[in-house]
Amino acid sequence: MISREELRASMYANGADEDTVNRLCPLPIKRVKRTGPTPEHLVKEEIVVYLNRHPRVGWFHVMRTGMADYNGRKVPFGSVGMPDIIGQMTDGRFLGIEVKAGKNTTSPAQEKFLQKIKRNNGVAIVAWSIDNLAGVLG
């Protein structure tokens, strides 16, 4: 079996252009590395502990979003505007929590998504802390 690099070199040698080579034999995706936890990440960790113990939260999932480097291009993954945490209340309502820290505010896409949740009788929260979250969830 030949390596990816050998295959790519062979394709170039046979006259294939860069777009064709990248389409037929793409380079592996490299994840962009973080230098450490963000303040938002620290708030999110506290919220996860709180949600695990909250009697009115049936289930929740921390969404994964970010950027990857693909052939020198930054490529986003995840849905635009999706809350950081989604789940369901024990009474059946959808739960969406957008976590913020410091002076951060929601983007227009995040606001639109949260409004969609509220319009459909879900619980949509922008949480800067557990206290903020507890005020809404009780």
**Residue boundaries of the structural domains of the chain:** 1-31, 34-137
Q: Could you tell me if 88 and 51 are in contact, meaning their C-beta atoms sit under 8 angstroms apart? A: no
Residues 6 or more apart whose Cβ sits within 8 Å of residue 111: none
Question: Rounded distance, CA 42 to CA 82, Å?
Answer: 19
Question: pTM score, two decimals?
Answer: 0.68
Looking from the CA of 3 toward its CB, the CA atoms found within 13 Å total: 4
Instruction: Give the burial class of 106: count Cβ atoms within 10 A of its Cβ; 0-12 exposed, 13-18 middle, 19 or more buried.
Output: middle
Classify strands 66-70 and 73-77 as parallel, antiparallel or unpaired: antiparallel
Question: Rounded distance, CA 82 to CA 65, Å?
Answer: 9
Higher pLDDT, 105 or 71: 105
* Tens digit of each residue's pLDDT (9 = 90 or more) over 11-44: 889 998 888 887 787 777 665 565 666 788 889 9
* pLDDT on residue 96: 97
* pLDDT on residue 138: 77
* pLDDT on residue 120: 97
Q: What is the mean pLDDT of the chain?
A: 87
Query: Which of the 8 DSSP states describes residue 68?
Result: E
CATH of range 34-137; options 3.40.50.970, 3.40.1350.10, 3.30.300.130, 3.30.70.1400: 3.40.1350.10
